[in-house]
Chain A
Amino acid sequence: MSFVWTIAEQYEGRLKAVSFELLSRGRKLADALETKLASVLIGDGVREAEMQELIAYGADEVYSIQDPRLAGFVCESYSNVLSSIIKTYRPSIILAAATSTGRTLMPYVAINVKAGLTADCTELHIEEGTGNLLQTRPAIGGNIMATIKTPDHRPQMATVRPKSSRPLVPDPARVGKIIEVPIEDAMIDTRVTVKGYRSDAEDFVNLEEADVVVAGGKGMKRGENFAMLRTLAETIGGVVGASRDAVDRGWIGYPHQIGLSGKTISPKLYIGAGISGSIQHLAGIKTSENIVSINVDPDANIHKVADFGVVGDLFDVLPELQRQLSARLDGNRRKGA
């Protein structure tokens, strides 16, 4: 026993990408502990062929708990289900994605099963000798990395950011077991009902899938100045992101936030303007292919992670960049014509 578990997530009967990312983290830990890796799927309408994918991506077992009443995420019902199977199977480690679901379900369950829970882990290792899970996470604005363990309680629970690990190469020949776990009516909490979903929200931005992200921080000084970034993003074919400082000041909406408390991105090009580069923000951009920094402070952290850094006032540099970019695009157009 004492398996390593990952929590698979689904939306409308399809598995989400995080389900596969978690398996690469889980596989490493299960191998270090010489135990098995199981993926727990709570939801509705996920077909067996798709569950087989979880096995191809590294799971030894899949616990499938499916019921129409579990189609949409309801914390209380999901928690009842997960707590119940934890008590039955007694896993050693449970990993979930730091998504709106994972960050809600895990703390609720951790109380019910008296488990230690560590949020937003960037590194997970097994401690030599004890077999305890060592969980490293940024804290205090990313100024420190704290390594945390749960010596006396099981399971050891942790969340990790989406996109912070790559899925393994799938092996369709991998053999595993799919175990259907029935639910009891009492597990469905009737105090909460999902009325539906709405995705027509304005100011919604798909940061994670953009090729170019132009982000602004505290140095932008005011919300209106983000117009410069929007124009630049439009010219270069990207979207606008922001640091937590800018979002906390209300200059731009939360869906634009990059960093450990926002989105983790891996675009071809990231341009950060007026962003000092807290570890939290850097953790959100460090998988970008190319990083360009524009900051007046020569000691700003963001210059240290940049492929190209400009030490200068963004209110001088951005307009000049806009001018040269537009001129170049005009030139290209003329050449094309």
Chain B
Amino acid sequence: MNIVVPIKQVPETSNVKMNPETGTMIRAGVETVVNPLDLYAIETALQLKEQHGGTVTAITMGPSQAEKVLKEAIAMGCDEGILVSDRKFGGSDTWATSYTLAKAIEKFGTFDLIIAGERATDGDTAQVGPGIAAWLNIPLATYVARVESVDDRSLTVERLVEEGYQIIEMEKPALITVVKAIASPRLPTLRGKKRAKTATIPLYNAENMDVDPASLGLRGSPTKVVKIATPKVTRGGTVVSATDEQSVASAVEQLMAFLESRELV
């Protein structure tokens, strides 16, 4: 079974510092990592490969430095990584991103399954996974918490939904997005790290992919960002300090009095 895992390079912390003057992100000194939720997709893919054979290919779209996250994926056990990178892809919204990644997966060749993370921790839209499935016109299951079974023709999965779990059977090739409950991501191995170091990462760009230039990057994106603001939310309640044994006791007494006054205890 050949599996493709689209992953994303994101800032290491979600508490990114913003420049209050310009409203832009301060990137200096911010480490980038594999989107934490993509690790669950990689793990699911590796487990399926262990059970059914085949290959796992990680694919990412981003600047050339994004090669780093592909190497991390290889260190975990992925067979290869593909970097989709071109200045023409810059400024893509989820529509243009899913278009470009779908085209890259078409160029890659045949596959049985695409496994994506639930969403990326920076953009937080959860739209690119479903978008890729739509472009490729393949069945989609989101919020998958368990892969129940896989056979030659189809797979059965459980989706985490509001009512509990929805069990669906879908023909392959298909795309699933997975939630954290599905697996615990493994750590990279020493052997994997060595392999990652020497691995050659193919570069897919606007030149060698079969893409419509009008659908790429900022130009190909239906949505436009018009304003960025740093939000403020305040309620202005009582704040007490609890720094030593005595002040802890007195702070909690005041908290108890507060809870009583609001009839909460």
A210 at the interface (CB under 8 A from B): no
Bound complex: CA of A103 vs CA of B143, how far in Å?
10
Contact of B142 (CB < 8 Å), options: A100, A278, A313: A100
Bound complex: CA of A238 vs CA of B127, how far in Å?
34
A-B contact count (CB 8 A): 291
A179 at the interface (CB under 8 A from B): no
Give B218-259 as 1s and 0s: 1 = Cβ < 8 Å from A's Cβ atoms: 000111111111110111111111110101110111111011
Give the interface residue-count category, chain A. 35 or more
Residues of A within 8 A of B226 (CB): 134, 147-149
Question: Among A47-55, A180-188, A304-312, which stretch is in contact with chain B?
Answer: A304-312
Q: Is the CB of A195 within 8 A of B168?
A: yes
Q: Is the CB of A320 within 8 A of B131?
A: no
A260 at the interface (CB under 8 A from B): yes
B60 at the interface (CB under 8 A from A): no
B14 at the interface (CB under 8 A from A): yes
Contact of A260 (CB < 8 Å), options: B124, B134, B247: B124
Bound complex: CA of A232 vs CA of B238, how far in Å?
22
Give A218-240 as 1s and 0s: 1 = Cβ < 8 Å from B's Cβ atoms: 00000000000000000010000
A61 at the interface (CB under 8 A from B): no
Residues of B within 8 A of A109 (CB): 134
Q: Is the CB of A268 within 8 A of B264?
A: yes
Give A240-253 as 1s and 0s: 1 = Cβ < 8 Å from B's Cβ atoms: 00001101101001
Q: Is the CB of A250 within 8 A of B180?
A: yes
Give B125-142 as 1s and 0s: 1 = Cβ < 8 Å from A's Cβ atoms: 111111101110001111
Nearest B residue (CB) for A158: B223
Residues of B within 8 A of A201 (CB): 164-165
A84 at the interface (CB under 8 A from B): no
B8 at the interface (CB under 8 A from A): no
User: Known: A192-B139, A198-B158, A306-B239. Contact between A104 and B14, CB under 8 A?
Assistant: no
Nearest A residue (CB) for B262: A290
Q: Is the CB of A304 within 8 A of B233?
A: yes
Min CB–CB distance B136 → chain A (angstroms): 10
Contact of B256 (CB < 8 Å), options: A110, A304, A312, A324: A324
Bound complex: CA of A242 vs CA of B258, how far in Å?
23
Give A107-128 as 1s and 0s: 1 = Cβ < 8 Å from B's Cβ atoms: 1111110111111100000000
Bound complex: CA of A119 vs CA of B264, how far in Å?
35
Q: Is the CB of B139 within 8 A of A76?
A: yes
B94 at the interface (CB under 8 A from A): yes
Bound complex: CA of A140 vs CA of B159, how far in Å?
26
Q: Is the CB of B95 within 8 A of A114?
A: yes
Q: Is the CB of A311 within 8 A of B239?
A: yes
Contact of A199 (CB < 8 Å), options: B14, B164, B235: B164
Q: Is the CB of B98 within 8 A of A192?
A: no
Bound complex: CA of A304 vs CA of B234, how far in Å?
5
Residues of A within 8 A of B167 (CB): 194-198
Residue of A138, A140, A153, A248 with highest tally of chain B CB at under 10 A: A140
User: Known: A197-B164, A199-B163. Contact between A291 and B23, CB under 8 A?
Assistant: no
Give the interface residue-count category, chain B. 35 or more
Min CB–CB distance A295 → chain B (angstroms): 10
Give B7-40 as 1s and 0s: 1 = Cβ < 8 Å from A's Cβ atoms: 0000101111110000101000000000011000
Q: Is the CB of B164 within 8 A of A204?
A: yes
Give A199-227 as 1s and 0s: 1 = Cβ < 8 Å from B's Cβ atoms: 11100100000001000000000000000
Give A63-94 as 1s and 0s: 1 = Cβ < 8 Å from B's Cβ atoms: 00000000011111001000000000000000
The A contact surface, by secondary structure, is: mixed
Bound complex: CA of A148 vs CA of B93, how far in Å?
11
Residues of A within 8 A of B121 (CB): 141, 248
Bound complex: CA of A73 vs CA of B227, how far in Å?
35
Min CB–CB distance B143 → chain A (angstroms): 5
User: Known: A104-B130, A292-B255. Contact between A144 and B228, CB under 8 A?
Assistant: yes
B205 at the interface (CB under 8 A from A): no
Bound complex: CA of A254 vs CA of B40, how far in Å?
13
Q: Is the CB of A143 within 8 A of B15?
A: yes
Contact of A117 (CB < 8 Å), options: B95, B119, B230: B95
Contact of B122 (CB < 8 Å), options: A73, A100, A139, A279: A139
Min CB–CB distance A302 → chain B (angstroms): 10
Bound complex: CA of A168 vs CA of B127, how far in Å?
29
Q: Is the CB of B131 within 8 A of A99?
A: no
Interface residue ranges, A against B (CB under 8 Å): 11, 16, 72-76, 79, 99-101, 103-104, 106-112, 114-120, 134, 138-153, 189, 191-201, 204, 212, 236, 244-245, 247-248, 250, 253-255, 260-261, 268-269, 276, 278-280, 282, 286, 290-292, 298, 303-313, 316-317, 320-321, 324-325, 328
A-B contact pairs, 24 of them (CB 8 A): A73-B161, A107-B98, A110-B95, A111-B99, A114-B222, A115-B222, A116-B222, A140-B11, A143-B18, A143-B230, A144-B230, A147-B227, A148-B224, A192-B169, A193-B170, A194-B166, A196-B166, A247-B180, A268-B264, A292-B255, A308-B238, A309-B239, A310-B239, A324-B252
The 8 closest A-B pairs by CB, nearest first: A312-B242, A199-B164, A141-B14, A116-B222, A111-B134, A107-B130, A309-B239, A307-B237
